[in-house]
Copies of this chain bind each other. A is one copy, B any other.
């Protein structure tokens, strides 16, 4: 069975006992989580979120620079007042440099990616502090928005406050 057929079968089971069709669009808990796309992370489970609770933005590394469009929409149009940034241990972003990936793309796909910053990092705690500072300093994020930063440990499932 292909992955998409597996998805459709799993979805049929989910929809059969759904009962959440009357939730409203703005997040009930007025919070937006920014975290990594990593397969080992299930932010709804590790934060105790249910459908309707929170915006969840995910990208490679959970980098906020790459989430700004979504964060502006979340706050300006959907009333969230808090941002929680969560990076994690053993992140792929710790394993390569922009130069590494640009060389690979040039060699294997023959394309020039010099204008793409892949936003890798070499220090996990610092990447969380940097992203929290970036939001606190951004003119697009009103000073009334609370911003905090955490590390999720993929070995233990634990969340550690950082900033």
Contacts and interface: CB of A to CB of B under 8 A. Distances in A.
Interface in A116-143: 116-119, 139-140, 142
A92 B80 CA distance: 13
Interface of A: 3-4, 6-15, 18, 20-21, 23, 25-32, 37-42, 44-60, 66-70, 72-74, 76-78, 82, 84, 90, 92-93, 95-96, 101, 104-105, 108-109, 111, 113, 116-119, 139-140, 142, 148, 154-159, 161
Given A44-B44, A76-B104, A139 B111 contact: yes
A84 B7 contact: yes
B84 A25 contact: no
B3 A105 contact: no
Contacts of A32: 37
Contacts of A108: 76
B48 A25 contact: no
Contact of A14 (B3, B70, B92, B157): B157
Q: Which of A32, A37, A116 has the most CB of B within 10 A?
A: A37
A132 to B, nearest CB: 12
A21 B157 contact: yes
A43 B10 CA distance: 11
B47 A60 contact: no
Contact of A39 (B28, B68, B119): B28
A154 B101 contact: no
